[in-house]
Structure 1
């Protein structure tokens, strides 16, 4: 019985969504090698990859670098697919896109010493029913906050996502914490976890919004509920700034 219950929870968490709620996000992180110029990668993104994704109907591709001066430097690429099948099909479509193959030739045929990064990591994230689609910031955003919430097991993650679906999305809206995307990770690092991205005009807007979150009466109510106890055990927070060619 216990085994059946666990399988049921996992199945519900990752697959029990209607088609409109199956947007999938690919969050790539490029970790740069020291002392290598990054121009070939930025040119590839701006002139080849992002235009090719747009031709596939994939819009609002986000490109960011970390706002801090921490090393090694990292660049993040956020791609929103309408579903998991679109993610799977996208790479084949790229290889069959003659414009892309031509525009990307300097990158695709570049030798090892021309590549500015030493590794790429990818997280796949499935949207939650309470926030099913990526939302492009209405106004120009200069500060983005990437947040990853880790849980000790799948049930704890399910309860944390339920907390967002039932209450936290409303609180975020009330206090001015604009979400770009939100979802549970289905592949990648730090699992089980959820990931979301916030957008702000500047650091002052970020500080003002978060200052209203803790005292919000609904937050004060739900943090006392046993249902949500021990649903999260770690938070990763990264501040990002958009690159000039980012579509977010």
Structure 2
């Protein structure tokens, strides 16, 4: 009898956990960062399709347009950020978008002379507790300033993501601000492979020259050097080659400039 009760209790807890996870998924807004690589010479046509059609159709299906950028060093790439009410909502929105007659018509017309996109990359992101931007707040934070954005991705050694987040939360954001960097968005990927070792974040600068000056000042900051040293007494936080960055400029149709 006791054994049966224990088994039943375990099953109940598992069911409760699954229900809570499902409820959390439905309730929590998530961001999606997408990168499109175009075929040669097709980026202008892709921009036109987004500005004239895609963004409107996205909104029809509950996909919130946040920002659209072009990397300063990749003339064949579009990077953009959208938001969904939840992962569950995203799973419904994308098929609905793909089957929308307006999208099918726009797609067919835009690809009469060949496909525009050669590669699509997507990553779902959950804002961290210390992220300045939550619930689509890019616009209030940065709009209208014609900023140079910087997208950075950090990969940590095993078990070190919590240390990295603590360093950003307690120190790095404040030191960034001191040297003229605008903290915009800090998030953790939701996929199993990267959720335990990856930080994705956006900061912004007044210009490319300002970015170079800010990073130089940050790297030489005495407080930063102390923090970096103390945070790694038990081993390096980032993997070798674990920092990737990309400078971005907003497109003319981006909701956030």
| Contact 1:128/1:182 (<8 A) preserved | yes
**Equivalent residue for 1:231?**
237
Q: How high is the TM-score relative to the length of structure 2?
A: 0.72
| Contact 1:152/1:231 (<8 A) preserved | yes
**Equivalent residue for 1:141?**
146
**Equivalent residue for 1:78?**
81
- Does 2:135 match 1:124? no
| Contact 2:128/2:186 (<8 A) preserved | yes
Distance 1:210 1:82, change over 3 A: farther
Measure the CA separation in 1 of the matches of 2:146 and 2:104: 29
**Equivalent residue for 1:25?**
31
Structure 1 residues not aligned, in runs of 5+: 1-14
| Contact 1:144/1:198 (<8 A) preserved | yes
- Counting only pairs closer than 5 Å after superposition, residues 160-175 of structure 1 correspond to structure 2 as 160-175=164-179
Distance 1:26 1:228, change over 3 A: farther
Measure the CA separation in 1 of the matches of 2:49 and 2:82: 15
Measure the CA separation in 1 of the matches of 2:106 and 2:63: 23
Distance 1:203 1:120, change over 3 A: same
Bigger CA radius of gyration? 2
Secondary structure class of the residue paired with 1:149? strand
CA RMSD of aligned residues (A): 3.2
**Equivalent residue for 1:3?**
none
- The number of residue pairs the alignment matches comes to 224
Distance 1:30 1:22, change over 3 A: same
- Does 2:244 match 1:240? no
Moved more, 175-184 or 107-116: 107-116
| Contact 2:33/2:82 (<8 A) preserved | yes
Distance 1:152 1:218, change over 3 A: same
Residue 80 of structure 1 deviates from its aligned partner by 2.8
Among 60, 63, 72, which residue is 1:67 paired with? Answer: 72
Among 203, 206, 231, which residue is 1:201 paired with? Answer: 206
Residue 228 of structure 1 deviates from its aligned partner by 7.0
Residue 150 of structure 1 deviates from its aligned partner by 1.1
Residue 30 of structure 1 deviates from its aligned partner by 0.9
| Contact 2:58/2:65 (<8 A) preserved | no
Measure the CA separation in 1 of the matches of 2:173 and 2:93: 31
Residue 88 of structure 1 deviates from its aligned partner by 3.1
Measure the CA separation in 2 of the matches of 1:212 and 1:82: 39
Measure the CA separation in 2 of the matches of 1:207 and 1:60: 29
Measure the CA separation in 1 of the matches of 2:87 and 2:208: 34
Moved more, 104-113 or 38-47: 104-113
**Equivalent residue for 1:180?**
184
